[in-house]
Structure 1
Amino acid sequence: MALIKKFVQLIISSVFCLLSTTLSAHAAHLPIGMNTNEVMQVDASVPFVNLFKMALPFAEADANLTHGSIAYDADGWPQNLHGGQAGTNLLHWLPAGTLPDGQYTVLYDGEGELVYQDDAKLITHTAGKDIIQIAAGADQFFKVVLLIKQSNPENHLRNIRVLLPGGICAHDPFQRVNSASQCDGDYQDFATHYDSILFNPDYLNFMRDFKTLRFMNMSGITRNPVST
């Protein structure tokens, strides 16, 4: 009986190994697809080099962040604060490791004052440019609030871009690097080349092996009020 039991176990084990090997080999040739996430401040996939693309519009933010009789321009940027403030969650409850700790570049047009809270702090400020330090908190999550405290109605603060630290070697857009020393003369930093380097290299590297990408969520269709 013990011999039969061992034989049955051997057969089951052999079949399992065969199936595992066959399925693994087959899966390598399957046209597997992947959904994209809806781009929001809680999206841990972080698809873009410009993190501000993940933030909710100021007009939709929590009343503790945006309040007052604020007038907006045609693109949704606060044009006149009228004594109030405009704010948004740039990052909200993203697990540590989702993003690199480091110095992020903030670029903007117009005149005004940006304030950073929670896991971000201002390092340096020049006209139209801030350098901020972002690091996961003691709770091992990223939470960053961005506030517009002051804005010149004649040249209002707008077109905010919050850019990842580092850049890429031009020959390899799938790998983020910290500095030019990691490239062979073809370093492109995000702070300068964000118009052409749109996607976070970590995101591209994850998505590159899928045969099909479904952009329904990223396109915002799940929040679109239009129905048929």
Structure 2
Amino acid sequence: MSSRLFSLISLLLLFITSLAQAAKFPVGINTNEVMQIDSSVPFLNLFKQALPFDEANGKLTRGNITYDRNGWPNNLNGGQAGTNLIHWLPEGTLPNGNYTVLYEGQGKIAYTDDAKLVSSQPGKDIIHVASGADKFFKVTLIIKQSNPNNYIKNIRVLPPGGICANNPFQRVKDASQCRGNYQAFETHYKQILFNPDYLRF
């Protein structure tokens, strides 16, 4: 067998092996950057696309705020730390309804624009989010109080509903739409990383 033919067969085998590996590990391409004005909403936890607190200086974040190494405000020093959670997302991008806000630490979070506080307990707020009269979603989150010894951090904002375990590509409103395998976003967000609506886009 000539060396040329051997090289050609080797390349062909390498190509076939690469295709087989690619089928096992599919990769998405042409995704948009993740930010508060991105209408694709790739992640289930909406806080992943929020404007960083330190980038909202002057308007939403005010005062001599200090931050930990992960960007969480660890001392408000009498000020406030705010962010645009979502901003100018078209109506229909997200469902209207009650969203769950989970966080670690002690303090008080306020919500404005198209979000209203429904209930609050330590580590968990329920907010009602509905698109405004302008047909857009705009949600602002502001840390008004935070204990410097146990400051608010690891905020997660989760939409209403969940998925049926056998179909992670379809968001459902509640357990009545599944056959005993309902996974609520609020309790399964560690396993359900991506927004089901985004996966079907």
Q: Which of 91, 98, 103 is equivalent to 2:93?
A: 98
**Structure 2 letter corresponding to 1:134:** V
The answer to whether the 8 Å contact 1:169/1:187 transfers is: yes
SS of equivalent residue, structure 1 residue 160: strand
Alignment-derived partner of residue 63 in structure 2 = 68
Q: Which of 127, 143, 149 is equivalent to 1:148?
A: 143
**Structure 2 letter corresponding to 1:45:** S
> For residues 139 and 191 of structure 1, do their structure 2 counterparts lie closer, same or farther at Cα, with a shift above 3 Å needed?
same
* Residue-by-residue CA offset, 1:21-75 (whole Å, 9 max, x unaligned): xxxxxxxxxxxx7410100000000001100001011011141100111111111
Alignment RMSD (CA, Å) = 0.9
2:133 maps to 1:138: yes
2:41 maps to 1:46: yes
RCO comparison, higher one (Cα < 8 Å, 6+): 1
The answer to whether the 8 Å contact 1:114/1:147 transfers is: yes
What is the CA–CA distance in structure 2 between the aligned matches of 1:62 and 1:166, rounded to whole Å?
34
Alignment-derived partner of residue 78 in structure 2 = 83
* Residue-by-residue CA offset, 1:100-120 (whole Å, 9 max, x unaligned): 000000000000000000000
Alignment-derived partner of residue 194 in structure 1 = 189
SS of equivalent residue, structure 1 residue 46: coil
Runs of 4+ residues deviating >3 angstroms? none
Alignment-derived partner of residue 215 in structure 1 = none
**Structure 2 letter corresponding to 1:53:** K
What is the CA–CA distance in structure 2 between the aligned matches of 1:164 and 1:37, rounded to whole Å?
21
Q: Which of 24, 49, 56 is equivalent to 2:51?
A: 56
Alignment-derived partner of residue 171 in structure 1 = 166
2:185 maps to 1:204: no
Give unmatched runs, 5+ long, in structure 1.
Answer: 1-32, 207-228
Alignment-derived partner of residue 6 in structure 2 = none
What is the CA–CA distance in structure 2 between the aligned matches of 1:173 and 1:116, rounded to whole Å?
30
SS of equivalent residue, structure 2 residue 39: coil
**Structure 2 letter corresponding to 1:73:** D
**Structure 2 letter corresponding to 1:199:** F
Q: Greater Rg, structure 1 or structure 2?
A: 1
What is the CA–CA distance in structure 2 between the aligned matches of 1:169 and 1:145, rounded to whole Å?
30
Aligned pairs (5 A) from 1:23-42: 34-42=29-37
What is the CA–CA distance in structure 1 between the aligned matches of 2:70 and 2:84, rounded to whole Å?
18
SS of equivalent residue, structure 1 residue 88: strand
Q: How many residues align?
A: 174
Give unmatched runs, 5+ long, in structure 2.
Answer: 1-27
Alignment-derived partner of residue 159 in structure 1 = 154
Alignment-derived partner of residue 25 in structure 2 = none
The answer to whether the 8 Å contact 1:48/1:199 transfers is: yes
The answer to whether the 8 Å contact 1:62/1:88 transfers is: no
Alignment-derived partner of residue 114 in structure 2 = 119
